[in-house]
Amino acid sequence: MSEANPGRARSGAPTLQDVAREAGVSLATASRVLNGTARRVAPAFREKVEAAAEQLGYSANLSAQATARGSSAIVALLVADIADPYFGRIAAGVARGADEAGLLLTIAITERDQQREAKLVRALRGQRPRSVILAASRTSGRANEELVAELGAYTSAGGSVVTIGPGGGTRSVGVDNIGGGRALGTALAGLGYRRAVFVAAEAGVRTSDDRIAGFTEGFEGGGGAVVEVLRAGFSRDAGHDAVDAVAERIEAGTVVVGVSDVVAMGVMAALREHGRAPGQDVAVAGFDDIPTSHDAVPGLTTVHVPLEELGYRALRSSLDAAVHDDEPLPVEVVLRGSTPARG
């Protein structure tokens, strides 16, 4: 049995040389078309090369493209925990923007560890991503010197860095966490609540600290008092374990506020385990308005954050500083059954 085209008989993946031979052009011309150099190629030759690449099933070499362009068609997103719906919604927005720009998205998990972030940035530098977006919460203390150095080396080579939240020296996009916390505190005080317990992350995490500060201002301004701040974390288990340890001393009529909806879900589970009915014996509220907050029973009072828009804006800002907007995205209180009005 003979080959239809014995000149192309080969094993393994098709190479750039195969494409050039099939299209009847030089290797340099094929490379300019498929590896994205700045030099222009006549439309007729471009069509031949693209048709040959499709026929052969050729996949462009991203490393070659990065060398030719000085950067690759990749955007890197670093998140603390991809299982957290908060980061999942942000990633969806980044992915939408990357798709519109014809870029690939790669995601790495930092586990909220700045040393791990530094190692990831160092590894990513070898891939020459077009931009790096940092979505993990920043701390208010001194930034990790290793991370700062890695980001500096990356930007010095022409890369772009955008931080979601306070940037600590980098370009940033964010939401009004203080204003959202204040609005939530004011709304709950207006419903008649006078005692609040806040389940927060460790001290120094900017997102958490801003939400506490805003909530305390709004709640106390409405006649309430934050009687306790429980330092836990951003996970469901953190919220559960923090309230599990103090559930018996939380007075009826208190509102327990999670620093995020995920934390608030853990709070609700712990209360039920102690025979306390969320929304009846003890009110519960969260922050972010992730999809599961709609489906909780009772529905979870929260602060709506446009997370997908936040991710999309971060991506656009990372590609073009001209679209950067210093104003934080607005947020909105959403009242549901977990915080009924008190007579």
pLDDT tens-digit profile of 90-106?
A: 999 999 999 999 999 99
* Closest to 300 measured CA to CA, from 184, 206, 218, 208: 184
Buried b (16+ CB within 10 A) or exposed e, 319-335: beeeeeeeebbebebbb
Q: Within the chain, where are the H helices?
A: 16-23, 27-34, 43-56, 62-69, 85-100, 114-125, 145-156, 177-190, 206-221, 236-244, 261-273, 292-295, 307-319
190 and 302 share one domain: yes
- Would you say residue 48 lies in a domain? yes
- In a shared domain, residues 190 and 275: yes
Q: How many domains does the chain have?
A: 3
Do 208 and 242 fall within a single domain? yes
Same domain, 212 and 275: yes
Task: Check whether residue 81 and residue 163 sit in a common domain.
Answer: yes
Range among 58-72, 170-184, 259-273 rated most confident: 259-273
Strand order in the sheet with 283-285: 225-231, 195-200, 255-258, 283-285
Q: Which domain holds residue 48?
A: 6-68
Last residue of a domain, one of 68, 101, 119: 68
Among 124, 140, 173, the domain-final residue is 173
Model pLDDT, residue 165:
80
| CA distance linking residue 119 with residue 124, whole number of Å | 9
Q: In this predicted structure, which of 30-44, 103-117, 170-184, 283-297 has the lowest mean pLDDT?
A: 30-44
Structure token digits, residue 196: 């609040």
- CATH code, domain with 263: 3.40.50.2300
Q: Which of 68, 96, 113 is the last residue of a domain?
A: 68
Is 320 among the domain residues?
A: no
Model pLDDT for residues 1-26, shown as the tens digit of each residue: 334 444 444 456 788 888 889 899 88
Tokens of 273: 């385990």
